[in-house]
Chains A and B, each alone.
Chain A
Amino acid sequence: MGRKVSRRDFLKGSAAAGATLVAQPWSFVFPENVLAADSDAPVTYGYSFCDMCNTVPKCGVKATIQDNKIIKVESRENYPNSPLCSKGIASLQELYDPHRLLYPMKRTTPKGSSDPGWERITWDEALKTIAENLNKIKKEYGAEKVMFYAGDPKEGRPAIRRLAYTFGSPNYGCESSTCAKAPQLTTQIVYGRPTMGSAPSDKTKVCLIWSSNPAHSGPYGFHKLLASKEKGVKFIVVDPKVTPTVSSLADIHLQLRPGSDGALALGFAHVIIRDGLYDKEFVENWTHGFEEYAEYVKEFTPEKVEEITRVPASLIEEAAILWATDRPSTWIGSACGTAHSSNSHNNHRAIVSLIGLVGNYDVEGAVTMPTESISFNDSATTAFLREADLFPKIKDKRVDTDYFPVWAEIENTIQANRLVEYVDTGAIRAMVMVGGNAMMWPQSQLYQKAIEKMDFSVAADYYIRPWTHNFMDMVLPAAMCYERMAALGNFGRTIYLREPIVEPAGEARSDWRTCFEIGNALGFTKEFWGGGEKCEEEGIKEVLRTLNVPVTIDDLRAHPEGFNIPTEGPPKFKKYELGLLRKDGKPGFQTPSGKMEFTSSLCEKHGFDALPVYKEPLESPVTTPDLAKEYPLILNTGARLPFYTHSKLRDLPWLNQFMPEPVVFLNPKDAEERGLKKGDSVEISTQHGSVIMTAGITNIVMPGVIDVYHGWAKANINLIVPRHFDPILGFPAFKEGLCQVKKA
């Protein structure tokens, strides 16, 4: 260490000599350079990117390092995603959290015991046990019986997916099948390519943010939206809540009843078509099913839509006309807001149809597609993932095809939300998981049981998370972002290599290395570079080798500020006219009809509505009025908080101070009717059960709706949500159940 007196010694001393210290405070000169005040160790700086939330790519971190320890972190300048938010700064506290998992652990009691009896084992034993179990299941039942799953953070995805396909299982899934795949697959179904929207550019006049709160879900980009507003971009924000995005940006706020998004979008279309404001040239030449769509939206008059959504008809008119006339206008979609509905796909399809309707697709300043994109796929490449060579040979063994045929036809990762059924039918018997928490699923206790029922399951994580891991056989310690290399950070045509800047804590390993070591232990030595300390770097080299641009790891090392690969020409727009959106190079879209689809050929093929038909939530005051008498409030869960990510980060003191206990937010009217005051302990009940939370009372929540954050181990709201799935793509209805709140 090179220090004469360690500060830990000092602290021990100070605690013992507390009485002396009162009279004679510790001598301390301030201000001085506190970092190097009495240490011989030099201060250096390291650069990394954060992994605390679910955004990809991540925000840049500059770390101050001394004695192989990070003593400070701050926003990395000149990095695409910056500044860091509260979670990013608190990554330092997670790095040195004494509760982190540092060694492989195996359970020593039978499944079902209240205490798993975790016992430390060596990595060698862990890998040997995993390989024996997986190979046994493969031999007896088939490789497809093993599910591979990536939770959050997402950086482990490419490695575990490569592992799945190499092992012979097509059943790799990730947490995006609960959320972000909704906008991605829906836009793919309508336009042939996935998109979650585009931020405003200099040409943009209007920005429509639909059920998203980027102020909290992507703080690093919020200043850019604020700057767009200062430059004159008009914002329409759709949200049941008066979020900071609404209060900072919205020129028009459409405050709708949760779950009624589809009706609102169809109301937009009604106004736009009624007034002849749609892009006739685009509609005529590049779209499919417009006449049926135009006929269908006739019934969605602003007055009717007001009745359904609670948004005033005059505001619907105003917003629709602004969206259609002040072009180019762009759209920013949500990874979850519209996904979490029993009519998720059709609601979302109604929303994204508005882009093409007014000719806002791939027009400069509107929703654009990249012109010359680097062939990254899930932060790696299709070749690296073995998606092109191995997956097609095994895809008929995927477990989700019968449940979600539309999904299975266009998406190679599986829809994992039916895990309970997959296990109950014996289709899945084991699981390898990186990150992940069973709390993320509706009626999560069923998923705990499903995991427990498996022949074998293992997870890698930063912590032992009892809610999930106590039902598993083994947990492996994962290295944090500062301790690991992969994956790459890629922003358009700029790539960042992350090198570890401190040694991993204990025996923690990166998810990439863990997956490669498992692959190696399973006998795929060549495919996983023999495991070992260097295998992660070999993996990165393989990704780079199979990209469509020439770049090596040495290039990246030589450019810590980001390696930029220039484009051959300026960005092109209206690429559907240029034959740049289809695999065959012909003009049009990569859809069955070759056009943007107002009526979906794919949905129709599988027996679903071709039109984006609006259906009421399966539970709602309209659909189930009797249920609504007993449970009159709409249970809206999962809206983002700026300081927690799903079930994570609850135990970091820097963050926990902002919401130490689970809170349910109610409108003052609803609180008053129930005699509730802020801080009261309240019971939230549904027909599926109840949880206890603390009441928060706020006008930013609509009357008749309650707002609950998810992921509290002590009050998991997902225990009591309905287990409804959108029939087409399978997203859970986290934002539309019915409930009651009363004093506990």
Chain B
Amino acid sequence: MAKLAMLFDLTKCAGCYGCVVACKMQNGTRPGINYNAVNVLEWGEYPKANQKFLSTLCMHCENPACVEICPTGASYKTENGTVLVDYEKCIGCGLCVNECPYEQRHLVEDDITSFPGVVAPYEEESVKRLKVVEKCTFCNERISEGLKPACVHNCPGKCRIFGDVEDPESEISKYIASHNAINIEGTSIYYVIPENMDRDLLPLAAVMSASASAKPAESKSSVGKYAVPAGIAVAGVAAVAVGVGISRKKSSKGGDNDNE
């Protein structure tokens, strides 16, 4: 059985936002809704300052809290591991939005388009989605045709890798092994991070290395709300505006690299 996953190589991401815009185009998302975000991370001071970019999107969890809480069965997990929303069943109650530990679900509340009063050709389908919850689908309509998700296809740094982690011959499986990637436990998301970057900057409480040789996950809260700072999804965009890193809760070991 396939298990589709996405990997972000933070050592390569240049924070160009190509993925965010490709996603908006592909999905015709309304103003203020981004299925994915690029968060600016910073640590260290001149002359040893570091900056990296953390991409976030729906983590396509193994046991998705959103699916569990959905009262109508609109949110569901497919056989290939992706988590989808059936808009026909969705009543827009928003329970899943609150439940998602990664804040990656978006209730379409306002009937607005990019340019007020105008439906552009790229929005003609998406304006039908109103009062429903939407989110990253791994570009289900593209991958079902054998294409890569829009954000992967249009990534200038080629730092996003998508594929089946159950297939040891897939590009993503090989990349995970060769680059000592970190899996966000219980999700379909992997990160490769620079050596000098604190893992606590990732959107997680518990991380585990996908490669067997790596050190075991540190014991942190692995249930309920994760150590994702409130507002991480929106902070990605807002933070860009003033170029600061995302805020985060103090890690259990107490970091010195708070980005406030």
Contacts and interface: CB of A to CB of B under 8 A. Distances in A.
A, B: real partners: yes
Contacts of B90: 25
B16 A85 contact: yes
Contacts of B130: 14, 21, 25-26
A74 B154 contact: yes
Contact of A28 (B17, B129, B244): B129
Interface in A50-80: 66-67, 69-75
A242 B34 CA distance: 27
Interface in B43-62: 44-47, 49-53
A248 B157 CA distance: 10
B12 A248 contact: yes
Given A72-B25, A83-B154, A694-B241, A642 B15 contact: yes
Given A29-B88, A657-B237, A71 B51 contact: no
Contact of A642 (B16, B113, B125): B16
Q: Which of A97, A220, A657, A669 has the most CB of B within 10 A?
A: A657
B155 A10 contact: no
A697 B237 CA distance: 16
B125 A699 contact: no
B140 interface: yes
Interface string A191-229: 000000000000000000000000110011011001000
Contact of A86 (B11, B16, B242): B16
B215 interface: no
A222 to B, nearest CB: 5
B15 A244 contact: yes
Report the interface size class on chain B: 35 or more
Contact of B42 (A642, A663, A700): A700
Interface stretch (B97-105, B116-124, B200-208, B217-225): B116-124
A75 B153 contact: yes
Contact of B124 (A25, A71, A668, A702): A71
Contact of A85 (B18, B121, B144): B18
A79 to B, nearest CB: 13
Nearest to A655: B21
Contacts of B163: none
Contacts of A32: 141
Contact of B154 (A75, A96, A98): A75
A69 B121 contact: yes
A80 B48 CA distance: 36
Given A98-B115, A220-B156, A226-B157, A93 B16 contact: no
A72 B24 contact: no
Interface in A504-548: none
B51 A242 contact: yes
A110 interface: no
B17 to A, nearest CB: 4
Nearest to A81: B156
A219 B155 CA distance: 9
A653 B31 contact: yes
A655 B144 CA distance: 29
Interface stretch (B79-87, B182-190, B248-256): B79-87
The 3 closest A-B pairs by CB, nearest first: A215-B14, A219-B156, A699-B49
Interface of A: 7-8, 10-11, 14-15, 18, 21-22, 25-35, 37, 66-67, 69-75, 83-86, 88-90, 92-93, 96-99, 215-216, 219-220, 222-223, 226, 242, 244-245, 247-248, 255, 642-643, 653-655, 657-661, 663, 665, 667-669, 678-679, 694-700, 702-703
